[in-house]
Amino acid sequence: KTRIGILTSGGDAQGMNAAVRSIVRVAISRNCEPFLIYDGYNGLISGGDKIVEAKWTDVNGFLTLGGTAIGTARCKEFREYQGRQIAALNIIKHGISSLIVIGGDGSLTGADNLRGEWSSHVDDLLKSEKISQEEASKYNSLMIVGLVGSIDNDLATTDITIGASTSLSRICESLDALQSTASSHHRAFVVEVMGRNCGWLALSAAICTGADYVFIPEDPPVGTNWEDRMCQALKNSRDAGKRTSLVIVAEGAVDSNLKPISAEYLKDVLTEKLNYDTRVTILGHVQRGGSPVFYDRYLASVQGAEAVSAILSATNETPSLVIGILENKITAQPLKEAIRLTSLVSKEISNKNFTRALELRSSSFLN
């Protein structure tokens, strides 16, 4: 029977549990043996009770649960060859031949590195007599499949990642709540949202909440007088009868000199130039919290099933794969290429929806 190791790694994202549940149950239905690896790569390196065979009922209740119940971690040792060698030993000792990693591009790169070095790990482990000749021949390859769990929606070659929809919903709920208090006091709010170097969450939130202005890393404001343009846009909205002002800033937003644009700075600008009663809200970890919305449950479930299928149809020549979704079709693409494209092109080029959203912004739709 094919033994499949499952782990979640890097930042947590809503829907990771739904993915784990789907993989466990599809694996069991397809006559495989799923193994849960706790706390990401830390668990793979610790071994022992961190690597446990999963029964059908072990994932009861996972579908609707936020975060990741099997734990996640940022693991320094896994970045080193020696750390990955210990992971390789634990994988072999547990009879695992395929690994499904649910995480961001860092986690998926790490898994692909392990696979790239696999034969050298096996050689080393055989030489140091940590594994037998029989084990070395039986586990002469490792298959890797990635699922992208990331609220940032920052991987090229997929329209949306697991967690991004829930995070956006959470941001919208919070912004709606802020709007009602802002409206009562004619206040302006500057709100920082997550997304690392990707502006998808900020731009989408701006469109979904009717924000007045938005700053994202992919499209820095041009010229030296962008502060004045922002103030004019907010003033125009107020003159037209709006009682509040809302400015959204992505955590990775920068100006044209690549200097970070902070929420505090924007607040000072609005206070000084417009004399608005301005408050800053950093939404923070609430954006990662709570139960996944339907789309993340759905996406995680169908992608989990696809990951198991991909493992069962793989040969030694199949590259490490990443499961995505493009134009509503679930895809399985070479992992390396997806990560290469992510580092080369920004999301706006790789994602049609992002481009449309940028068009909406530049057509002054927001204010």
Q: Where are the alpha helices (DSSP H) in 128-283?
A: 133-138, 164-185, 200-209, 226-239, 263-274
**161: exposed, middle or buried (Cβ count in 10 Å: 0-12, 13-18, 19+):** buried
- Distance (Å, whole) CA 300 – CA 245: 36
Paired strand residues for 28 = none
Nearer of residues 11 and 15 to ligand ADP, judged by Cβ: 11
| Among 108-116, 239-247, 297-305, 306-314, the segment contacting ligand ADP (CB under 6 A) | 108-116
- Binding to ligand ADP in span 75-94, by CB under 6 A: 75, 78-79
**Position among 47, 52, 63, 74 found at the interface with ligand ADP (CB under 6 A):** 74
Q: CA 109, 41, 90, 4: dihedral to nearest 10 degrees?
A: -70
Q: Which of 71, 103, 292, 324 binds ligand ADP (CB under 6 A)?
A: 103
Q: Are 62 and 18 in contact (CB under 8 A)?
A: yes
Please identify, among the stretches 8-16, 126-134, 238-246, 252-260, the one whose residues bind ligand ADP according to the rule CB under 6 A.
8-16
- Total of residues contacting ligand ADP (CB under 6 A): 17
Work out which of 43, 104, 163, 217 binds ligand ADP, going by CB under 6 A. 104
Q: Please tell me whether residue 192 binds ligand ADP under the rule CB under 6 A.
A: no
* CB burial of residue 151 (10 Å; 0-12, 13-18, 19+): buried
Q: In the window 23-52, what residues touch ligand ADP (CB under 6 A)?
A: 41
Minimum Å distance from CB 146 to ligand ADP?
9
CB of 236 to ligand ADP, least distance (A): 39
Q: Which residue is nearest to ligand ADP (CB)?
A: 106
Edge-to-edge strand order for the sheet containing 321-326?
51-53, 33-37, 3-8, 98-103, 143-148, 321-326, 329-334
| Residues in contact with ligand ADP by the rule CB under 6 A | 9-11, 41, 74-75, 78-79, 103-107, 109-110, 113, 150
Residues classed as catalytic: 152
